[in-house]
Chains A and B, each alone.
Chain A
């Protein structure tokens, strides 16, 4: 069981990260941001960066760091906000999000010095690349783990299943995929777009599967991630984390309208008010 100190830390970091998501996304003005997709992933990314992964912002490319590969690249604000909180990137750099000449694009661009391991944005690729990185660790006899954040809609892509089978073939038990199952994709709900039982599919592919009823709950995430990180049963691991798209901002939660768009002043004020309220509860 995760200790309360760590759980509190994750919750504290998650609150700060949500604030960054709103600030950076609002700061992008008319260029907009993928708010909903980032907000559902916050506790997952916070748990990894501040509870589970072995990494060092002072030494971002150390050989034995655990790798984080954000496959659902459009939710880059979840990653950037964690990188900001961890100290990989500065406040000033965060403020350049999506700006002309910035290195913080609307999808991650590989930049290990700042903690960005893999370029992603075309769905499916990040996860398959993560499988290659996990195999490389095995070939080199290194003990670090590879974590990859994948969308539930992203699981529509063929390459996800090509890679999933391959990961089983090579026994990549040093790989943990986390599916951010927020039940919404771009054009509609996952039920409307492609109604499949992904849990059954991952099991059928041969993965070690764990379903989290509340994937925005730090305590259960920490427990699940710790268990899978330590398990070397010869199978790759996947946590299917049930989350809420737009989590934490009342008018975004579960909404189909906040996949990606600009945020106006009024919405910004309302979003900040929600985050402030959450603190006092």
Chain B
């Protein structure tokens, strides 16, 4: 990480993930001459204006052309550059899913695809702007790493991990303005190594993305009722931290996966796939977006609609325990 990040946490929390990733790309670019950033006519939305102005030769706007964004990035990566391709999660990686597979996955290209405003963060813009299926698509592509960090510092550290990582990464970002600070001090962030955010023996919330704060809120509610609740920050969805899962399956009575994604193919799906082979593993319930196109509404409304607020999560756990 960059130590300056610690001084920025409050600002980052206020501004949300777009600013965290943009500021971090600025830091990475200063330290690594091979870093380049790309956007598809979304420079201000992705908060990349400063990057573009500071590094005009290392910033590329390919136009509104997401397929080209991915293939062009792959070409840069194959020749040794480290591209970070930023777009709306609903459109990048979804429109160029095949390019993501053939140009990034198949060739194991060192491209980090950053999907901003994932899940249903774009509330009033409607379903074309929701990314509810992006994890499922990218996770199924060999060689890909999928990371959904939970807070500003973990987003920052995830990007620093990406630059050290060989192979394509999909970084899926959710926390908007008011992005809760879950980590206020430096901590060990490793791709594929989840974090036991708090211990507990009855319920285990396994969470990805910015819903970690809500899972912790739900754990508070349950603890008040005498239900011991573990919370795991499963920031990497692929590769999955099966060591942590083994521990959870051995020690907890109920697993609740928590994510802003379809119940199919995301974190919940990944955990269930692994759990299928673990004899005697506990029951799992899925806290997720429903398998449906959503009603229109702001993010808060949609979280409530889909049972993803802290009280909803607590109730879901309690009734299934």
Any chain B CB within 8 A of the CB of A121? Answer: yes
**How far apart are the CA atoms of A195 and B31 in the complex, in Å?**
32
Whether a CB of chain B sits under 8 angstroms from the CB of A227 is: no
Tell whether, in the assembled complex, residue A187 and residue B39 are in contact, meaning their CB atoms are under 8 Å apart.
yes
A181 to chain B, nearest CB (A): 15
Contact indicator A105/B42 (Cβ below 8 Å): no
Given known contacts A31-B124, A107-B126, A158-B68, A102 and B296 CB-to-CB distance under 8 angstroms: yes
Residues of B within 8 A of A120 (CB): 128
Query: B295 near A: Cβ within 8 Å?
Result: yes
Nearest B residue to A157 by beta-carbon distance?
B64
Q: C-beta contact mask, A67-107 vs B, less than 8 Å → 1, else 0?
A: 00000010000000000000000000000001111111111
Picked from A28, A102, A105, the residue with its CB within 8 Å of the CB of B127 is A105
B80 sits at the interface (CB 8 A): no
Helix, strand, loop or mixed for chain B's interface? loop
List B residues 93-111 near A (Cβ within 8 Å).
95
How far, in whole Å, are A119 and B177 apart by their CA atoms in the complex?
28
Q: How far is the CB of A35 from chain B (nearest CB, A)?
A: 14
Query: What 0/1 readout, one digit per residue, does chain A (106-121) give for beta carbons within 8 Å of chain B?
Result: 1101000000000111
Complex Cα gap A158–B70 (Å): 13
Which residues does chain B contribute within 8 Å of A104, judged by CB atoms?
A: 296
Min C-beta distance of A152 to chain B, whole Å: 10
In Å, the complex CA distance between A44 and B61 comes to: 29
Query: Which residue from A31, A122, A157 sits with its C-beta under 8 Å from B128?
Result: A122
- CB-CB under 8 A from B42, the residues of chain A are 186-187
Residues of B within 8 A of A (CB): 39, 41-45, 61, 63-65, 67-68, 90-91, 95, 122-129, 295-298, 301
Assembly CA distance A158 to B90 (angstroms): 17
Considering the complex, which residues of chain A in the window 162-183 have a beta carbon less than 8 Å from any beta carbon of chain B? none
- Chain A CB within 10 Å — which of B90, B124, B125 has the most? B124
Bound Cα distance A154, B66 (Å): 12
Q: B295's closest neighbor in chain A, by CB?
A: A101
Contacts of B63 in A (CB 8 A): 153, 156, 193-194
CB of A275, distance to nearest CB on chain B (Å): 24
**With A and B bound together, what is the CA distance between A156 and B63 in angstroms?**
6
**Contact indicator B125/A123 (Cβ below 8 Å):** no
| B contact residues around A188 at 8 Å (CB) | 41, 43, 61
For the complex, is A242 an interface residue (Cβ under 8 Å from B)?
Answer: no
Specify which of A101, A102, A158 is in contact with B65 (CB 8 Å cutoff): A158
Partner of B129, one of A28, A106, A124, A153: A106
Give the distance to chain B from A160, nearest Cβ to Cβ, in Å: 9
Q: Is the CB of A121 within 8 A of B44?
A: no
With A31-B298, A123-B64 known to touch, is A156 a contact of B41 (CB < 8 Å)?
yes
Which single residue of chain B is at the shortest CB-CB distance from A196? B63
A74 and chain B: residue at smallest CB distance: B125
What residues on A are CB-neighbors of B127 within 8 Å? 105, 109, 119, 121
The interface residues of chain B lying within 8 Å CB-to-CB of A107 are 125-126, 128-129
Q: Does A185 contact B (CB under 8 A)?
A: yes
Neighbouring B residues of A121 by C-beta, 8 Å: 125-129
Cβ of A105 and Cβ of B125 under 8 Å apart? Answer: yes
Output the least CB separation between A125 and chain B (Å).
8
**Top-5 shortest CB links A-B:** A121-B128, A105-B126, A156-B63, A194-B63, A100-B297
Known: A100-B298, A158-B67, A187-B61. A106 touches B44 (CB 8 A): no
Chain A CB within 10 A, most for which of B65, B123, B128, B298: B128
Q: A101-B295, A193-B41 are in contact. Are A106 and B65 (CB under 8 A)?
A: no
Tell me the minimal C-beta distance from B63 to chain A in angstroms. 4
Contact B297 A101, beta carbon cutoff 8 Å: yes
Residues A119 and B297 in contact in the complex (CB < 8 Å), given A185-B64, A186-B45: no
**Most A CB within 10 A of own CB, among B64, B125, B298:** B64
A156 touches B65 (CB 8 A): yes
CB neighbours (8 Å) of A98 from chain B are 124, 296
Q: List 23 A-B contacts (CB under 8 A).
A: A31-B124, A31-B298, A98-B124, A99-B124, A100-B298, A100-B301, A101-B295, A101-B301, A105-B296, A106-B124, A107-B128, A107-B129, A121-B127, A122-B91, A154-B64, A158-B65, A158-B68, A186-B44, A186-B45, A187-B41, A187-B43, A187-B61, A193-B64
